[in-house]
Amino acid sequence: MNEYAMEAENVTVQYVKGKRVKALDEFSLKLHKEQLIGLIGANGSGKTTFFKVCSGAIAATTGKISVLDEKVNFNLAMQEELAFCNPELPIKGNLPVRKVLELYAGMYPHFDVAFANKLLDLFGVSGKKRIQELSLGNRAITYFIFTLATRAKVTLLDEPFNGIDFEKRKLAYEVLLRDYIENPRTILISSHNLAELKPILSEMVLIHEGKVIFYEEMDTIREMLFRADGDKEQAEAFLNREEIITVNSGELGTYFIGRGSVNGEFAKEVKKAGMKISAVEPEDVCVYLTSKRKESELECLWK
Amino acid sequence: MRIDFSQVTPIYIQIADAIEDDILLGKLKEGEKCYSQVVLAKELNINPATAAKGIRLLVERGVLEKVRGQAMTVKVGAMKEIKERKVEEILGEIIERLVDEATKLGIGEDALVERVKEAVKRKSES
């Protein structure tokens, strides 16, 4: 038995042959078992492609991928232990919610019918309604519920809470966390709302342009970068340092983002020079490590 | 117990600090069971790994211990341990900040000491 739930080795996906653009580019990742893992990346970074390759919905152009030590393609035994929730890939047709539930129960041997029905009640989704009659948010919730109820050893959730209102989203995070505590398993969830999601995560993967930037525990991510605020003269003494990621200067002062923890050596040095040190939250860490945008570009818009 | 997700202090440290506060307030007693990892995760809506990390931190601080395969227990002498650490770390940090602010405002040593004395006096009278 392997300690990883999923292993991807140099996986490349090219939707159009010959084109230079790769949805995944030599993508390598090994996911730890029984963790609740966030998959974070900007639009077009390759999140959905990765989910699709993992679940066998599409094949990798090159590279190897295995889930629970098994090759992904043409493997029914493994598919029973792998659930993928993606609002774009629903069950065809316009069946009533109750019928879709039956289909899921038929596909997944550990599907918990009673749990799924209780969740439909909790979120106020009627089993009699047809899938297409549901609002966007309720349809998303329904697929989330069914995916969770599969209790599959590897559960992939691709933006499961898009279009869901704040109250239900809060409830959904709680349900997801509680079910993970009661039935530990590997759950990979992508979201554009890391600020909301982060408390329930144990680990996080950041991807950018089809590559893995990092895969770390949440607390490690909070110690990756720090922010230093001060005046221009104070900041200038450090600007040649390679730990600095970005600098921003304005009338109100100058700040820079540096690599390292707020309690690290570099931060201490900066603090001694009189600058104010603060932590950088995971959602901002992701932006600073992947964004190429410069503040000056924004200013240009109104000039 | 309340965790402030917008605060810069990592969640696991906030949990450890909050448990220590409950010990200081007498809600958790020395020699008795501490909140479990699962209870913390469920009630605070945080990942169990984060809750475990908070508990581990308290074991390192000498506040909690595992008694013969049982649940985490508040160590006898934990109260003293917490107070000593808080005086060192937290009070030290607050005093440093206080001195920083006072210097910025041009308040001299004597004036600052006087104000602290007044505050202590008000507290003891109330």
CB contact under 8 A, A200 and B45: yes
How many percent of chain A have pLDDT more than 70? 93
Q: What is the CA radius of gyration of chain B?
A: 18
Task: Give the one of A36, A174, A262 whose C-beta lies nearest to B47's C-beta.
Answer: A36
A130 part of a folded domain: yes
Q: Are residues A111 and A239 in the same domain?
A: no
Q: What is the nearest CA distance from A106 to chain B, expressed in angstroms?
A: 31
pLDDT reported for residue A293:
66
A88 part of a folded domain: yes
Question: Which residues of chain A make contact with B5, given a CB cutoff of 8 A?
Answer: 198-199
Q: What is the pLDDT of residues B68-123, one digit of tens each?
A: 777 899 999 999 999 999 888 888 989 999 998 999 899 999 999 999 999 999 98
A289 part of a folded domain: no
Strands (E), B35-80: 64-66, 72-74
Q: Are residues A235 and A202 in the same domain?
A: no
Task: Give the one of A177, A200, A219 whose C-beta lies nearest to B53's C-beta.
Answer: A219
Q: Are residues A194 and A236 in the same domain?
A: no
A11 part of a folded domain: yes
- Domain CATH for A36: 3.40.50.300
pTM, rounded to two decimals:
0.86
Residue finishing a domain among A204, A220, A236: A220
The complex's ipTM?
0.77
pLDDT reported for residue A74:
61
List A residues 15-34 in contact with B (Cβ-Cβ < 8 A).
Answer: none
DSSP state of B61: T
- Domain CATH for A238: 3.30.70
Q: Are residues A137 and A31 in the same domain?
A: yes
Question: What class does CATH assign to B11-76?
Answer: mainly alpha
Pick the residue of A200, A224, A263 with the most B CBs within 10 A to test the interface with B by mutation.
A200
Q: Are residues A31 and A165 in the same domain?
A: yes
Question: Which residues of chain B make contact with A178, given a CB cutoff of 8 A?
Answer: 42
CB contact under 8 A, A178 and B42: yes
Segment holding B93, helix H or strand E? helix B92-104
CB contact under 8 A, A279 and B8: yes
Provide the residue ranges of all domains of chain B, joining segments of one domain with +: 11-76, 79-125
Residue A222 has pLDDT above 80, yes or no: yes
CB contact under 8 A, B46 and A199: yes
CB contact under 8 A, B45 and A173: yes
In terms of residue numbers, what domain contains A158?
A: 4-220
Q: Are residues A141 and A274 in the same domain?
A: no
A51 part of a folded domain: yes
Mean of the pLDDT values across residues B22-46? Answer: 93
Query: How many angstroms separate the Cα of A246 from the Cα of each of A27, A152, A182, A235, A293?
Result: 26, 42, 43, 12, 10
Helices A166-182 and A113-122 sit at what angle, rounded to 10 degrees?
160
Q: What is the nearest CA distance from B71 to chain A, expressed in angstroms?
A: 18
Lowest mean pLDDT among A13-17, A229-233, B110-114: A13-17
Mean of the pLDDT values across residues A290-296? Answer: 72
Q: Are residues A140 and A203 in the same domain?
A: yes
d(CA A170, CA A179): 14
Average pLDDT value over all residues in chain A: 90
| Residue A90 pLDDT class (50, 70, 90 cuts) | low
Q: What is the pLDDT of residues B51-60, one digit of tens each?
A: 999 999 999 9
Q: Are residues A138 and A93 in the same domain?
A: yes
Mean of the pLDDT values across residues A274-289? Answer: 93
Nearest-Cα residue of chain B relative to residue A184: B48
Which of these, A99, A65, A64, lies nearest to A82 by C-alpha position?
A65
Overall number of domains in chain A: 2
Q: What is the pLDDT of residues A118-133, one digit of tens each?
A: 999 999 999 999 998 9
Mean of the pLDDT values across residues A241-257? Answer: 91
A300 part of a folded domain: no
Q: Are residues A172 and A194 in the same domain?
A: yes
Which of these, A265, A261, A264, A291, lies nearest to A279 by C-alpha position?
A261
Mean of the pLDDT values across residues B38-59? Answer: 94
A275 part of a folded domain: yes
A297 part of a folded domain: no
Query: How many angstroms separate the Cα of B96 from the Cα of each of A219, A272, B30, B57, B92?
Result: 27, 13, 32, 25, 6
Comparison of pLDDT for A43 and A297, the residue scoring more = A43
